[in-house]
Chain A
Amino acid sequence: MIIDGILILLYATIQIIISPILLFDDVTLPSDFATSLNTAGTYTSGLNHYIPIDTIQTILVLLVYIVGAVLLYKLIMWGIKKIPGIN
């Protein structure tokens, strides 16, 4: 009950803060983005025998996840510091 209350309060606070974001339409990337990646793939696939393109792809994805997580953390901390009374 107590933890439930805290979680729901936290959820409500986050929901209020992000409510302007929820008003936007869902993000859709233009189809050209995927097409460009696929086209690049057809050119890089020939090199995969010599250069580990699959490893590079995995590392790129991991990098995007990590950078995104760090940015999100910094954003949340910025928001928390804006609450009055919190240093």
Chain B
Amino acid sequence: MKKLAKLIFIVLLVFFVTSKNANATVINQQTDSSSEVTTNTNSPTLVIGSFVSEGSGYDADLQVYTWGPATSGVAIILSTNNATNPGGAICRWDLNTVYSGSDYPTAKTSEPILVHATAGTCDGSYGSGITEFSTYYWKILVPTGNTYHVATNADNSSMYFRLGYDLITPPDTTTHIESFTPTNGSITASTAVTVAFDYYIASSYIPGIESIRIKLKQIGGIGTQQFDTTSAVYGTLTNVSHSFTLPTDTVWEVSVYFVRPGYLIEETQIQLSPGFFSYRFSVETDPTNDNIECSITEVAGCFQKVFIFLFQPSDFALSKFTLLYEQIRTKPPFGYGFAIVEELTNTDLMGTEVYTLETFTALDDIIFTPMRAGLVWLLWIVFAFGLFKSFRNMHL
């Protein structure tokens, strides 16, 4: 049995490790040489091998792999200071000395190209002059003929980096929420709980969103709270923050919705992080002994405080089990039981009738209504007897 338990644990661990998504940064992609070479053959591709910089105001060295369709011009790597607007101020690093026209490689070369960027090479002809390299996100533009194309990685997504930093994953331009607090399963001692997050609504997302709604629902209670922002912004990462006053020793579930007044579906719930559409947190305060007096004239109070300190469990310790319960109830295999019970509870087995059985009022009064009442009693009695019998014979 012990060997079986160990084997199951190892299998679960292997499953967990292999099921996690691969890091989407270029550094990891660069190890998958097959995807870099075989994909993205119709537009310029660039992979940044490594990057070194002392930070803002210093030169930067890039090792790059760049290839694509043959160009008629010189291969140049440009960068912009604005991650979302390629028309912003442009700094220029030249590859003139390496490639010229048809020499631009059509497949990935075995050795990277070393590109040296000198701080302060952004001159007025390209924009406002950038010296704060490390502040902005940068893209690589590669020329094709007389136009410039944004260089992409092997997955055809635009690449961004910042000088002085490691390569970063590009900002998420899909509709999403990030940096959500309070975190799932957290415990806060303060009754003033600030729910804060950043949201991004893509321009191509559903139209008509006018506000963002935060909903709080008490777990194990009837408390609810709600907050609506006065507006919703498309296309820009926007912060939302609101402080809720919550009673102590309570557990809450928080969720976020996009509100579209006048639409058939007015509320659209948005996930707070991959796989989570709501978070749970608890509000608690440790018990204090402030009301018990301990002094020379109140010695009993001193003993009372000592015993309370030694033996009274704090709300902090007790709430751990509440959160444990909340964690377990959503995970397999227990989650299936809870989910089924929730569905059975929420489903109304007496919904809209698709047929009606005709009857007479007299028959109802004399036969069917008393029969129904009798059946109710019978069902409960049979249930109680069955339960008693099964518990009596059960070996726990």
Listed in ascending order, the chain A residues whose CB lies under 8 Å from chain B are 1-4, 7-8, 11, 14-15, 18, 20-29, 33-34, 37-38, 40-57, 59-66, 68, 70, 72-74, 77, 82
B347 & A50 in contact (Cβ 8 Å cutoff): no
CB distance from A23 to the nearest CB of B (A): 5
Q: Which residues of A contact B330 (CB under 8 A)?
A: 26-27
A42 & B354 in contact (Cβ 8 Å cutoff): yes
Listed in ascending order, the chain B residues whose CB lies under 8 Å from chain A are 1, 5, 9, 12-13, 16, 275-276, 309-314, 316-318, 320-321, 324, 327-328, 330-341, 343-357, 359, 364, 368, 371-372, 375-376, 379-380, 383, 387, 394, 396
| Cross-interface CB contact of A21 among B5, B328, B375, B396, cutoff 8 Å | B328
CB distance from A85 to the nearest CB of B (A): 15
Q: Which residues of B contact A18 (CB under 8 A)?
A: 324, 327-328, 331
- Shortest Cβ distance from A20 into B: residue: B12
Known: A20-B12, A27-B332. A49 touches B372 (CB 8 A): yes
CB distance from B373 to the nearest CB of A (A): 8
Q: Which residues of A contact B368 (CB under 8 A)?
A: 49-50
> In the complex, how many residue pairs between chain A and chain B have their CB atoms under 8 Å apart?
156
CB distance from A22 to the nearest CB of B (A): 6
A41 & B351 in contact (Cβ 8 Å cutoff): yes
B357 & A49 in contact (Cβ 8 Å cutoff): yes
Q: Which residues of A contact B380 (CB under 8 A)?
A: 55, 59
B352 & A45 in contact (Cβ 8 Å cutoff): yes
- Shortest Cβ distance from B311 into A: residue: A3
Per the bound structure, the CA–CA distance linking A54 and B349 in Å amounts to: 7
Per the bound structure, the CA–CA distance linking A52 and B374 in Å amounts to: 10
